Structure 1
Amino acid sequence: MKPEQDQLLVFGVVAGTHGLKGDLKVRPSSGDSDSLLEAPEIFLRRGTEVPVSHKPARVAPHKGNILLRLQGLESIEAVQPLVGCEVLMRYGDLPDLADDEFYWFEIEGLTVVDQSLGEIGILEDMFSTAAHDIYVVRGRFGEILIPAVDEFVLGVDQEERRMTVDLPEGLVPDADEV
């Protein structure tokens, strides 16, 4: 089920500031950070507070993060209180992806099934490294970290809410005991 066009989705978090002109360092929730580069509007939210709308004045990639300057907040003093806020975007502002690419909200909670071991758990988290994203799956083997690469991830069936993987021997530590 696709979100409504106006629904807000978490893009990342404000990890810090950069420089003196009010740039925020945004750490994306996934390795695909290009979505924010063209966003006409973003929202910031702290905890359970109501999201606040902002217009980007400048957006640029920077060392795996995004530098974001907001209109009207162009000094370090103005943006320092925003560190720690979630960065949200409207679903309707997200660019279309290729058929084999997904946004995090589309795959979070999928059942992960290995070709040899069967069901291994639920896709609960993801983090990015310099090389690629890593999926965090929790289930009968505990926590399994799966590199999000074509070699291991064979497919995603959104209707069945299932991700099929082919994991190399040794990636699932307790598999030999089952």
Structure 2
Amino acid sequence: MRKEDCFYVGTIVNKFSFKGELLVKLDTDEPELFLEMESVFIEIGKDLVPFFVERSQLHKSMLLRVKFEDIDDEPAADSMMKRELYLPLTALPALDGDKFYFHEIIGFTIIDENYGEVGTITGVNDTTSQALFEIDNNGDEVLIPINDEFINKVDRENKVIEVNTPDGLIDLYLS
């Protein structure tokens, strides 16, 4: 499995018991979605290695307490610390309406209600407090906050996102 074909689930942050149980800090608003995982890919070196889940349960809101097959003691659990977990993109539930996953909108065209065609989404910057569309406008980068109030419509069929940004926002990047 290639990392490009997967999405990040979380990171192993601590041991829970001497029997190999681990705590995973999940990267989600809905941790209960990950309770039924049968297996997961764990990044070891540059490879994604499959591990089977014996059992899991939520632990203190955003932590998932997991027992993997073949991780049965503290030394084995120690070897898993700080490793990242991934699942295939096909495991994501389909979204409809104006909701979207960041990976699925790469290549979409942004059209602003007042400005017109802004450009093509090349990425999403989610390292800031406000996630941003990264848009290529003929070689110039335009950043638009991903904000429900700005998004009018997500047209998956035509790969277009229609927005209504505040006056002057796009011109900041293109003047």
**TM range, normalised to the smaller chain?**
0.5 to 0.7
Decide which structure has the larger Cα Rg and report it. Answer: 2
TM-score (norm: length of structure 2): 0.67
Once the two structures are superposed, the pairs formed by residues 42-121 of structure 1 within 5 Å of their partners are: 42-46=40-44, 48-55=46-53, 57-60=55-58, 65-72=62-69, 73=71, 77-82=75-80, 83-89=82-88, 91=90, 93-117=91-115, 118-121=117-120
More contact order relative to length (CA 8 Å, sep ≥ 6): 1
- What TM-score do you get using the length of structure 1 for normalisation? 0.66
> How many Å separate the matches in 2 of 1:123 and 1:56?
39
CA distance in 2 between partners of 1:108 and 1:162 (Å): 10
Q: Tell me, which stretches of 5 or more residues in structure 1 are unaligned?
A: 1-6
Q: Tell me the alpha carbon deviations over residues 25-69 of structure 1, each in whole angstroms, 9 at most, x when there is no partner.
A: 2334xx565542433322223464143232162243766x45351
Deviation at 1:17, TM superposition (A): 0.7
Question: Is the 1:108–1:123 Cα contact (8 Å) retained in structure 2?
Answer: yes
Distance 1:121 1:103, change over 3 A: closer
Distance in 2, matches of 1:84 and 1:173, equals 42
Return structure 1 stretches of 4+ with deviation > 4 angstroms.
31-34, 74-77
Higher mean C-alpha deviation, range 139-148 or range 70-79 = 70-79
1:17 aligns with 2:16: no
CA RMSD for the aligned pairs? 3.6
CA shift for structure 1 position 135: 3.2
C-alpha distance in structure 2 between counterparts of 1:126 and 1:32, whole Å:
21
Provide the rounded CA distance (Å) in 2 between the counterparts of 1:56 and 1:173.
54
Check whether the contact 2:39–2:53 (CA below 8 A) recurs between aligned residues.
yes
CA contact (8 A) 1:116 1:166 kept: yes
For each residue in 1:85-128, what CA deviation from the matched residue of structure 2 results, as whole angstroms up to 9, or x when unmatched? 3412361x433434443333322332222222222441502528
Q: Which runs of 5+ in 2 are unaligned?
A: none
CA–CA distance in structure 2, aligned partners of residues 171 and 157 of structure 1: 23
